[in-house]
Chain A
Amino acid sequence: MLGKAFIFLGLVTMSLAAEPLSFVRDVQPILTKAGCNAGACHAKAVTGQRGFRLSVLGFEPEEDYEAIVKQGKGRRVFPPAPEESLIVTKGAAIVPHTGGKQIEPGSESYQTLVRWIAEGMPYVQPNEPKLSAILVEPARVTMKAKTAQQLKVTARYSDGSSRDVTKLSLFEANDTAMASASGEGLVKTSDIPGTVAIMVRFGGSVSVCSVSVPLGAPVDVMPPEKNFIDHHVLANLKQIGIPPSPICDDSTFLRRVSLDIGGRLPTLEETKTFLADRSPDKRDKAVEALLSSPDYADYFANKWTALLKNQRSENADITANFAFHAWMRDNLLANTPYDQIVRQILASTGTIVSNPPVAWYKRVKEPTTQVEDVAQLFLGVRMQCAQCHHHPFERWTQAEYFQMAAFFSQIGRKPTAIAGEDLIFHKRGIAQTEHRKTRVMLKPAGLGEPPLDIAPDDDPRLVLADWMSRKTNPFFAKALVNRYWKHFFKRGLIEPEDDLRDTNPPTNPELLDALAKHFLDSNYDLKSLVRVITQSHTYQLSAMPNEHNAIDRQAFSHFYPKRMTAEVLLDSIDMVTASKTDFADLPPGTRAISLPDNSYTRASPFLKVFGRPDNTSVCECERVQSASLAQSLHLMNASDVKAKLTANNGRAEQLTKSELPEPKRIRELYLAAFSREPTADEVRIAETHLLKPRNDADGKALDSQRAKRNGYEDLLWALLNTKEFLFNH
Chain B
Amino acid sequence: MFSRIYFLIFLLAASAIGQQVTLPLPRLLTIMPMGGQAGQNVEVTITGENIEDVTELTFSTPQITAKPVTGTTNKFTVSIAAGAPLGVHDARVLSRLGVSSVRAFSVSQLPEVVRTKANNTLETAMPITVGSICNATMTKRAVDYYSFQGVKDQTVAVDCAAVGIDSRLTPVLILADGKGADLKVNRTGGMIDFTPPADGTYIIKVNDLTYQGGERHFYRLALQKSPAQPQPQTQMVSAMSWPPADLPPTANVNETEPNNKDAQRITLPCDIAGSFFPAADVDTYEFTAKKGETWWVEVASERLGLNTDPFVLVQQVKDGKLTDVAELYDIAPPMKVTSNGYSYDGPPYDAGSPDVNGKFGVKEDGTYRLQVRDLFGGTRSDPHAIYRLIVRQATPDFSLAAWAVHMTLRNGDRASLSKPMSLRQGDARAFEVVVQRRDGFDGEINISMENLPKGVSAAGLRIGKGKTYGHLIVTADEKAPCGFSLAKIIGKAVIDGKELTRPVRLASMEWPVKDAKGDIPAPRLMADVPVSVTDSEQAPLSISAAEDKVYEAKAGETFKIPLKLTWRNEFNGTSIKVKAYGEGFSGIKEFDIPLKATTHEAVIDLAALKITPGDYTFAFQSLGICKYRYNPAAVPLAEAQQKEAETTLAAAAAEAKKVAATDAEAAKKAAEKQKQAEAAMTAATSKMKSVTTTANPTDTVEILISQPIRVSVKAAGATTASK
Contacts and interface: CB of A to CB of B under 8 A. Distances in A.
Contacts of A294: 181-182
A323 B209 contact: yes
B189, B307, B378, most chain A CB atoms within 10 A: B378
A638 interface: no
Interface string B378-398: 111000000000000000000
Interface in B288-316: 307, 309, 311, 313
Contacts of B377: 349
Contacts of B307: 350-351, 354-355
A282 interface: no
25 contacts: A293-B181, A294-B181, A316-B517, A318-B210, A319-B209, A326-B187, A327-B187, A330-B187, A349-B309, A353-B188, A354-B188, A355-B188, A355-B380, A412-B375, A415-B340, A417-B520, A417-B521, A418-B340, A418-B520, A420-B340, A423-B309, A426-B378, A428-B327, A457-B313, A459-B378
A702 B563 CA distance: 89
Interface string B180-197: 011011011100000000
A590 to B, nearest CB: 9
A419 B187 contact: no
A417 B185 CA distance: 26
A428 B313 contact: yes
A587 B378 contact: no
B167 interface: no
B544 interface: no
B341 interface: yes
A586 interface: yes
Given A294-B181, A412-B375, 16 more contacts: A316-B518, A319-B210, A349-B375, A354-B189, A354-B376, A355-B376, A355-B379, A423-B309, A426-B375, A428-B311, A428-B313, A457-B371, A585-B211, A586-B211, A587-B141, A587-B207
Interface stretch (A340-348, A527-535, A690-698): A340-348
Interface string A405-432: 0000000100111111001011010000
B172 interface: yes
Nearest to B163: A353
Interface residues of A, number: 44
Nearest to B143: A587
Contacts of B211: 585-587
Nearest to A322: B210
B185 A330 contact: yes
A356 B375 contact: no
A323 B187 contact: yes
The 9 closest A-B pairs by CB, nearest first: A350-B376, A425-B375, A354-B307, A419-B340, A330-B185, A349-B376, A347-B378, A344-B379, A294-B182
Nearest to B308: A350
A573 B592 CA distance: 70
A715 interface: no
A343 B379 CA distance: 7
A297 B181 CA distance: 12
Contacts of A729: none
Contacts of B341: 419
B142 interface: yes
Contacts of B209: 319, 322-323, 326, 353
A462 interface: yes
B280 A416 contact: no
Given A326-B172, A428-B313, A457-B371, A588 B376 contact: no
Interface string B335-374: 0000111000000100000000000000000000001010
The DSSP consensus for interface residues of chain B is: loop
B561 interface: no
Interface in B106-143: 120, 141-143
Interface in A378-416: 412, 415-416
A350 B380 contact: yes
Contact of A457 (B142, B182, B282): B282
B309 A350 contact: yes
Contacts of B376: 349-350, 354-355, 423, 425
Contacts of A334: 184-185
Interface string B11-36: 00000000000000000000000000
Contacts of A420: 340
Contact of A462 (B187, B207, B378): B378
A316, A347, A354, A418, most chain B CB atoms within 10 A: A354
A248 interface: no
A461 interface: yes
B436 interface: no
Contacts of B313: 428, 457
Interface string B464-503: 0000000000000000000000000000000000000000
Nearest to B380: A355
Contacts of A415: 339-340
Interface residues of B, number: 40
A333 interface: yes
Interface in A566-592: 585-588
Nearest to B521: A417
A343 B341 CA distance: 32
A416 B185 contact: no
A83 to B, nearest CB: 64
Contacts of A293: 181
Interface string A314-338: 0110110011001100100110000
A349 B187 CA distance: 16
A334 B187 CA distance: 14
Interface in B650-688: none
A348 B376 CA distance: 8
Nearest to B187: A326
Interface in A531-555: none
B182 to A, nearest CB: 5
Nearest to A465: B379
B19 to A, nearest CB: 24
Contacts of A350: 307, 309, 376, 380
B309 A425 contact: yes
Contacts of A355: 188, 307, 376, 379-380
Contacts of A426: 375, 378
A574 to B, nearest CB: 17
A334 B184 CA distance: 8
A319 B170 contact: yes
Nearest to A357: B379
Interface string A280-302: 00000000000001100100000
A409 B280 CA distance: 18
Contacts of B210: 318-319, 322, 585
B380 A417 contact: no
B440 to A, nearest CB: 25
Interface string A482-494: 0000000000000
A353 B170 contact: yes
Contacts of A416: 340
Nearest to B330: A414
A608 to B, nearest CB: 23
Interface string B130-160: 0000000000011100000000000000000
Contacts of B309: 349-350, 423, 425
Contacts of A322: 209-210
Nearest to B141: A587
A349 B517 CA distance: 23
Contacts of B371: 457
Contact of B378 (A356, A417, A461): A461
Contacts of B170: 319, 353
A288 to B, nearest CB: 14
B141 A586 contact: yes
A461 B327 CA distance: 21
Contacts of B339: 415
B211 to A, nearest CB: 6
Given A350-B376, A585-B141, A356 B340 contact: no
A457 B373 contact: yes
A404 to B, nearest CB: 19
A333 B182 contact: yes
